[in-house]
Amino acid sequence: MPKYRIFILIAGLAILLLSQYKLIMPFAYKVVASDLFLVDSKDKASQVAISTPLSNIAFMHCNNYIKAELGADTSVIFPEKPLNAWTLGNYQYLISAEFSVTTDKAATNKKKYACRITYNNGDNEEGAQDFNNWSIIGVSGL
C-alpha cells in the first residue's frame, strides 16, 4: 500500500485541478458576467473631482461628524469647499479636505482628512439635509 499512496495523491490533485478548471471557474465567470451584482442608479462614478449639491451636502455632513468626534474641547474651522470630492457611484462620495484645529493649549494645526460617505435614499434627494439618511463609512486623518 505505501507505494500506491503517491499515485493516489497525484490522481487526487489532478482531479481537483481538472474539476476547478472545467466546473468551478466557468460557473464563476457566468456569475460575474450576469447582472447579479449590477446596481442601477442615476449616480455614475467619476474619476474626475466633482462639485454637485449632493457632494456639498456630503462635505457638510463629514465636517459635522468630525466636529462631533473631536469633542467640545477643540475648536475646529472648516473651509467653505473641500479640496476634492469624487463620486464613487450609487451615491457614495469620497471627500478630501482640510481643517484647522485649536486645542486647549492654543496651538493651531492644519489637518487633512478623507471621508467616505453614502447617501442611503438613492434617487430620492428630498431628505439629503438629514444626517440620518447618510452613512459614514470611514474617516482618515483625524
pLDDT tens-digit series, residues 55-92: 899 999 999 999 988 887 788 889 999 999 999 888 89
In this prediction the pTM is 0.70
pLDDT tens-place string over residues 4-13: 888 999 999 9
**Spatial separation of the C-alpha atoms in residues 90 and 18, rounded to whole Å:** 39
Going from the C-alpha of 90 to that of each of 39, 55, 93, 94, 138, the distances in angstroms are 7, 13, 9, 12, 17
CATH number of this structure's domain 53-140: 3.10.450
**Is pLDDT of 2 > 90?**
no
- Per-residue pLDDT band at 1 (split at 50, 70, 90): low
Q: Is the pLDDT of residue 36 over 90?
A: no
